[in-house]
Amino acid sequence: MIITDWPNAVAHIDADYFFANCELARKPELRGKPVMVLGKLGSCILAKTPEAKQAGITTAMPLWDAKKACPKGIYIHGDFRYYTILSRYLMSLLGEWSPVLEIYSVDEAFMDLKGLRGLYRMPYNRIADRIREEIKNRIGITVSVGVSVNKTLAKVACELNKPDGTTMVPGRAISDFLSTIPVGDIPGIGRSRSELLFKYGIKSAQQLAETSQNLIQRWFGKTGVLLWRELRGETSFPIQKDSPPPKSIARTSSFDKPHTNLQVVHGMATYHLERAIEALYRHHLLVKEFALYLREKSFMTYGLKHRFESPTNDFYELVKALSKTIKNMPSNRIWRSTGVILSHLSPSCGQQLNLFEDPKKIECQDELNQAKLDLNKRFGRTTVRSGATLFISKKYTINKERLDLPLF
DNA sequence: TCTGGGGTCCTAGGACCC
DNA sequence: TCTGGGGTCCTAGGACCC
C-alpha cells in the first residue's frame, strides 16, 4: 500500500446521464422533468435524468416497461450526431486543461493532473471544481470528477458524488475509501466475478485489495492482478493519450419487428456494410475477414464468416462477400437483428499487392470508392448506395429519419 | 432487467510442426 | 506401429466495459 497522498494524480471526468443531459442543454424547459433517451428504433432506454431514475427507470429497460413505470415521462429518440458534436466539444475543453488526456468513451475521459497544481496555482480539488464549472457554463451539461492516484480509483471515486460533484481520494485515504465500496462497483468486476468473490466472503473492495496475489491470479488471471494492483494504489493502466486504431468494426441494428424476409435482411446488412466501410476508410484500414451478423428472435446469434485472399477496402468486393454469405444463412428462421462485423484489420498505407493484382485496377477502385464516400458525405449517406438496400421498404422500417434512407 | 449498439482483452484448447 | 516433449499459431467463447 502506498503512503503518500499524490504519487500520481489522475482525474476521471464523467458526463452525468450524458444523452439526456445533452437534450436538457438544448431544451432547458425540460429540466427537472423525467426525460429519457431511446435507442435506434425506440426499443429501450439509453439514458435518463435523475427524475426518471427516481420513477424506477433503469438503463436498457424496454420502452413498454418504462411507459408503465413512468407514463408521464418525456421520451426522446436519440440524436446521436448531436451527442457526438457535444462530446467533441467536451473533450476539446478538457484538452485545454491538460495535454495528457485519454478519451475513454463518448462521455468519459481520464486526465493526468500531475504538475498542474503549480501551473494553475490551486489544489487538485479546486482544479476539478473549475473544470466542472467551465463545462457547465460553456456546454450546458454537468459532469462529475473523481481524483485519485490511478485510473481505477479515480473512476470509482467519480461515481460517489454524482451528478455534478467532485470526489477526492488521496493515497492515505484509499483503505478507508475502499472499505465503503462493494466489489461489484469496481470496473472490471462484473456479475460473474462478483458471485465468485461472494462465495469466499469478499464483499468490499478493501477485502479484495487485501486478498493474496496468488488467489487473485488463480481466480482472475493476469487482468485480475493488474486490477488488484490498482486497488492497492499502484499504476497498472497508464493514461493512453492516443487511441489505437480499432481491431474490429461492427455495424448492426434490430428490425422494427422480427421477420423472415431474406431480401430485407440482405438490404439491412448491405446498409450496415456501407456504414462499416465508411468507418474503414475513416481509419485508413483494410479488412481480411468479413462476418454477417444475425440474431434470431430467440436471441440465438450467428456470425457467418468470409475470408478475403488479401486485405481489402473495396466496396464491390465486400458487397460480393455479403451476397455470397447470405446464401449460407439458416433458412426458415425469424430474425430480430442483423449487421456486419469487419475484423483482422490492417493499415491501408503500404498495402501489399499480391502477384495477381493489377496496381492500376486497385487505384481505380480506390478512386471510385473514395468518390462514392465523398458524394455521400456532401449529399447524405444514401446518395450513392447499393441496389440491395432498395429492399428495405417502408413496410419494414418504422422511422425514416432513424435509418436516413429515402424510403418508398 | 428478458436484452441497444458498439467495443476490448484473455484463455483454453485444437491443429500443426519438429 | 506406437509413442515423447516442446513449441507456435489460431479460434471460439467468456467476461467485461460504455
Q: Which nucleotide is nearest to A196 (CA to C1')?
A: C15
Query: A187 beta carbon < 7 A from strand C?
Result: yes
Report whether CATH 1.10.150.20 matches the domain A103-231: yes
Return d(Cα A248, Cα A239) in angstroms, integer. Answer: 22
Q: Which residue has the cell 433458412?
A: A331
Distance in angstroms: CA A220, C1' C2: 40
Residues 6+ apart with CB under 8 A from A28: A140
Instruction: Single out the residue of A254, A250, A251 nearest to residue A264, CA to CA.
Output: A254
Catalytic residue ranges of A? 108
Distance in angstroms: CA A356, C1' B16: 28
Q: Which of residues 296-315 of A touch strand C (CB under 7 A)?
A: 305
Nucleic acid strand C: bases within 7 A of protein CB: 12, 14-18
What's the CATH code, domain A249-406?
3.30.1490.100
- Per-residue pLDDT tens listing for chain A (408 residues): 667 899 999 999 999 999 999 999 999 999 999 999 987 666 789 999 999 999 989 888 888 888 989 999 999 998 888 999 999 999 999 999 999 999 999 999 999 999 999 999 999 999 999 999 999 999 999 999 999 999 999 999 999 999 999 999 999 999 999 999 999 999 999 999 999 999 999 999 999 999 999 999 999 999 999 999 999 999 999 999 988 899 999 999 888 778 888 888 999 999 999 999 999 999 999 999 999 999 998 888 889 999 998 899 999 999 999 999 998 888 888 998 999 999 999 998 765 555 566 677 767 777 777 777 777 776 666 677 766 666 564 444 433 333 333 332
Return d(Cα A309, Cα A311) in angstroms, integer. Answer: 7
What's the CATH code, domain A18-82?
3.40.1170.60
A379: how many CB neighbours lie within 10 A of its CB? Answer: 10
Which set of grid coordinates corresponds to residue A403? 435509418
Give the helix, strand, coil percentages of chain A, each rounded to 5. 45, 20, 35
Task: Tell me if A152 sits within 8 A of A227, measured CB to CB.
Answer: yes
- Residues facing strand B, Cβ within 7 A: A 39-41, 43-44, 46, 58-62, 65, 221-223, 244, 246-254, 272, 279, 299, 336-337, 339
Return d(Cα A268, Cα A103) in angstroms, integer. Answer: 31
End-to-end Cα, chain A, rounded Å: 65
Distance in angstroms: CA A355, C1' C8: 28
Residue spans per domain, chain A:
18-82, 103-231, 249-406
Which set of grid coordinates corresponds to residue A328? 449460407
CA pseudo-torsion sign A355, A360, A366, A372? negative
SS3 sequence, A362-395? HHHHHHHHHHHHHHHHHHCCCCCCCHHHHHCCHH
Distance in angstroms: CA A188, C1' B13: 25
Nearest residue (Cα to C1') for B7? A248
Strand order in the sheet with A45-48: A45-48, A35-38, A74-77
Return d(Cα A194, Cα A208) in angstroms, integer. Answer: 11
Q: Which nucleotide is nearest to A104 (CA to C1')?
A: C18
Is the pTM value of this prediction over 0.85?
Answer: yes
Query: A188 beta carbon < 7 A from strand C?
Result: yes
pLDDT number for residue A240: 92
